[in-house]
Chain A
Amino acid sequence: MQEELKALAQAILEGKRNEAVDLTQKLVDAGVTPKQILDEGLIAGMSVAGEKFKNGEYFVPEILVAARAMKASMEILRPLLVASDVQPIGTMVIGTVRGDLHDIGKNLVAMMVEGAGFKVVDLGVDVTADKFIAAAREHNAQIVGMSALLTTTMTYIPEVIKAFDSEGLRPQVKLIVGGAPVTQEWANQIGADAYAPDAATAVDKCKELLGAA
Chain B
Amino acid sequence: MTPRERVLRAIRRDAPDKVPKEMGFTPAAYERFVQETGCTDPAEYFGMETRYVGFRPPRELPDFSRYLRNLPEGAQLSGEYGTAHIPGTFYHFARCVFPLERASSIRELEEYPWPDFTPAYRHEHLEAEVQAWHEKGYFVTGFAGHIFETAWQIIGFERIFRDFIENPEFVEWVLEKITQDNCFKARRLAEAGVDMVQFGDDVGMQDRLMMRPEVWRRFLKPRLAREIAAAREVRPAIPIWYHSDGNIADIIEDLIEVGVTVLNPVQPECLDMDWIKRRFGDRLAFWGTIGTQTVMPFGKPEDVKRAVKEMIERFAPGLVLAPTHVIEPEVPWQNILAFFEAVEEYGRLTS
Contact = CB atoms under 8 A, between A and B. Distances in A.
A99 B328 CA distance: 13
A198 B269 CA distance: 15
Contacts of B162: 61, 64-65, 68
A181 interface: yes
Nearest to A107: B158
B208 A99 contact: no
Contact of B165 (A62, A126, A180): A62
Which of B90, B165, B269, B292 has the largest number of chain A CB atoms within 10 A? B90
A60 B162 CA distance: 9
B89 interface: yes
B29 to A, nearest CB: 10
Contact of B89 (A56, A126, A180, A198): A126
B89 A60 contact: no
Interface stretch (B91-99, B138-146, B191-199, B303-311): B91-99
Nearest to A125: B95
B274 interface: no
Contact of B293 (A59, A126, A180): A180
B211 A98 contact: no
A61 B164 contact: yes
Nearest to A153: B90
Interface size range on B against A: 20 to 34
B330 A152 contact: yes
Interface in B155-198: 157-158, 161-162, 164-166
Interface size range on A against B: 20 to 34
A151 interface: yes
A107 B208 CA distance: 17
A210 interface: no
A197 interface: yes
B88 A181 contact: no
Contact of B158 (A15, A104, A151, A198): A104
B90 A99 contact: yes
A126 B91 CA distance: 12
Contacts of A104: 157-158
Interface in A14-66: 15, 56, 59-62, 64-65
Interface in B309-351: 328-330
A188 interface: no
Nearest to A56: B208
Interface of A: 15, 56, 59-62, 64-65, 68, 98-101, 104-105, 107, 125-126, 150-153, 155, 180-181, 197-198
30 contacts: A15-B165, A59-B208, A59-B211, A59-B212, A60-B161, A60-B205, A60-B211, A61-B211, A61-B215, A62-B212, A64-B158, A98-B89, A98-B90, A99-B93, A100-B93, A101-B88, A101-B95, A104-B157, A105-B205, A125-B95, A151-B328, A151-B330, A152-B90, A152-B329, A152-B330, A153-B90, A180-B205, A181-B269, A181-B293, A181-B294
